[in-house]
Amino acid sequence: MNKDFLKAGNHKKIISNYSSILDPIEIEKIISEAKSHTRLMYELGLDHYCFAKKAQKKQWRQRVSRLYYAGYNVSKAIRFECDGSFSTEVKDHSKVGDLPENFPDKATFLNEFKNLREDRNSADYDHLARKADLLKKPEEYEALVLSFLRHAHDHLANRGTILGAKP
């Protein structure tokens, strides 16, 4: 796994711009490396989801926070696979609901991930926040993120990323 791969910039643009000078084997290497990153981003999201699922019900702050990061990382994997974009800046969180045109229930995820982001901020930073102040219950977020992971699994697998079993 090449750690510097992501520093080189958008791999889709690189392939497109250098397609006349790169031979097919080189292009295939870039694609293969990109797919490995996509898979790992997806698995990071899945890890967060599994953590949230195992957390005790009363640990609502941890559950909401991890569920948000589950959604965020998987959304990142999809955007990376779709247009090659990747960012580690805080601003990238505003794109959590930006999904490809054909993604199932796209409008639902766009709106609900905004809710989840707002509630993650309360869970992580607001010492006065109570569970009752959440826009949605942790169980509802858990169902939302699970549905997102499943659609994302289909989406990425259909585009050639090799993933483990569907959650």
Partner 1 sequence: MRTETLDRIKTAFEERTGLLGLTHQDVIKGEKTVRVINVAHITDRLYDALNECLKEFDSEGNFHATLKVKSQDSIVNSAEAKLLLKVLSESQNINQHSFELDFFDRYTRSVSGAENQIISSANHIVTGRRGAGKSMLLLYSFKSRQRDGLPNAWIDMQAYSGREDEQAIADVIIELLHEIDFPADSIGDVLVIRHKIESENMLVKDLRKYVPKLRRLFATISRKNDIFIFLDDLHVFNRKMQNVLLDVLYSIFRGNKVYVKASAIETLLNAYNSTTQVGMQIPQDVQRLGLDYNLTMPDKAAAHIESILDSHARYAALPSIRRLSSSADVLPRLTWVSAGVPRDAINLFSQSMLKAIAGGKNRVTVSNVNMAASENLSIKLKDLQSDASSEAEALNIRLEEIRKFCIIDQRSNAFLIEINQNSESFKEILQLVQLRLLHVISEGITPKEAGTKFMALMLDYGLYTGVRAAASVELFNKDTTSVSAKDLRKLKIFKG
Whose Cβ is closer to partner 1: residue 17's or residue 111's? 111
Query: Does 139 participate in binding partner 1 (rule CB under 8 A)?
Result: no
Residue 26 within binding range of partner 1, rule CB under 8 A: no
Label residues 91-128 b or e (16+ Cβ within 10 Å = b): ebbeebbbbeeebeeeeebeebbebbbebbebbeeeee
Where do the H-state alpha helices sit in the chain? Answer: 11-17, 24-54, 60-83, 106-125, 138-158
Binding mask 83-102 for partner 1 (x = CB under 8 A): -----------x--------
Q: Which of 92, 114, 147, 163 binds partner 1 (CB under 8 A)?
A: 114
Report the C-alpha gap between 62 and 141 in whole angstroms. 12
Query: How far apart (Å, rounded) are the C-alpha atoms in residues 23 and 5?
Result: 18
Q: From the CB of 115, what's the least distance to partner 1, in Å? A: 5
C-beta closer to partner 1: residue 35 or 114:
114
Judged by the rule CB under 8 A, the positions of this chain that interact with partner 1 are 94, 105-108, 110-112, 114-115, 118-119, 121-122, 126, 133, 135-136
